[in-house]
Structure 1
Amino acid sequence: MAKVLSTERMTGAAPIVGGERRLRADAQRSIDALITAARELFATTGVDATTREIAERAGVGMGTLFRRFPQRADLIAAVFQSEMVAIADAANSLAADCTPFEALAKWMQAYAAFIGTKRGLAKALSSGDPVFVGVFAHFDQRLRPTAQKLYDAAVAAGEARPDVDAAELLCAVSTLCMSTYPGKPDHAGQMTALLVEGLRVAR
């Protein structure tokens, strides 16, 4: 017994606990790989990419995919939420490095790119699947307040007109991203730039 206790003190954990930690790390790597693979495929082929394609790109078996994400909707929601966290966090860096209006303009472009790569997502989200209830809640909790904070900062600095609601901006950009224009793959980004420029206060 004394020998076992000595080993635990040296390593900080008993062998069983260490094994559980390694298992959790392996599980997290599988989850991260699946989310990354799904994100890449959704961006190029839309959310209709097959689970087999996703598993193959992630380098895991189908059993692992379904163990981590029992329903296809679970994986779609996980990708959407992970990207919402990333784009919300990006606002802090932009606010620190740019003027308030520049931060707003660049963030809106990032938001447009985020929406523009979600082909087929609107249909999935409107499917009535209860898994997606949390996605809408996450959107309200992270992205709308983020947009409002950036917009309010630009207004407070006297760089943006004060008569627009940030939620309206998000809705407008989302609408722009639904349209396509032949020969202009960045049509939504260009229209978003024009939209945001219209908020600028003339000097």
Structure 2
Amino acid sequence: MPRPLTVDEIPGIVAAFAQGARNAIAAGFDGVEVHGANGYLIDQFLRDTPNQRTDAYGGSLENRARLLFEVLTAVTQAIGSERVGLRLSPLNSFNSMKDSDPLALIGFLADRLNAFKLAYLHVMRADFFGVQKADVMPVAREKYKGVLVGNMGYSADEAEAAIAEGKLDAVAFGTAFLANPDLPARIRAKAPLNAPDSNTFYAGGAKGYTDYPTLQVA
């Protein structure tokens, strides 16, 4: 059965994030993205529905963000803040995540994250399952002064408009890239996109990952 981490165990978790970042750079990567989204460990601390702690890591926004800030401090010290990004999903209910005030959560985090001088902040703007609804991107844009990347459900035209209007600095495409290995070329050519098949996501085989057709150019 899962159980809460003890306070004594948390420094080891933080150190593991830093070592993972060092390992990535040693392996030849240009940087790392700290995963603070989608119901994984950091996200479990950030949101007030799963986080039922009564110690220094639970309760207030400051306390619930403590693990994230400790991880970012360790990782940026290990490899340099210019090599570190962060992904957040204040609305996504994947893995049964929920927060009572996602706008307050993203506003608090976006403001406090300025001090870390990260390469970028990557925010999922919606919920896979439509359980939670809010417009988190304007709050993130208002509070965060660095590079802001939006994600989830953007079309090429919407992405271009959002960047042109200064709402975002970049847009990340996920499932569209799964189904379109040549996505940049298709966007440039304004060509139709292959539709992703969610039934093959995380299936462990080639189907749904390496068998989508590329754009045929005469």
The TM-score, its normalising length taken from structure 2, stands at 0.28
Q: Which is richer in helix?
A: 1
Higher RCO structure (Cα 8 Å, ≥6 apart): 1
Q: Which is richer in strand?
A: 2
The TM-score, its normalising length taken from structure 1, stands at 0.30
Look at both structures and tell me which one has the larger radius of gyration over its CA atoms. Answer: 1
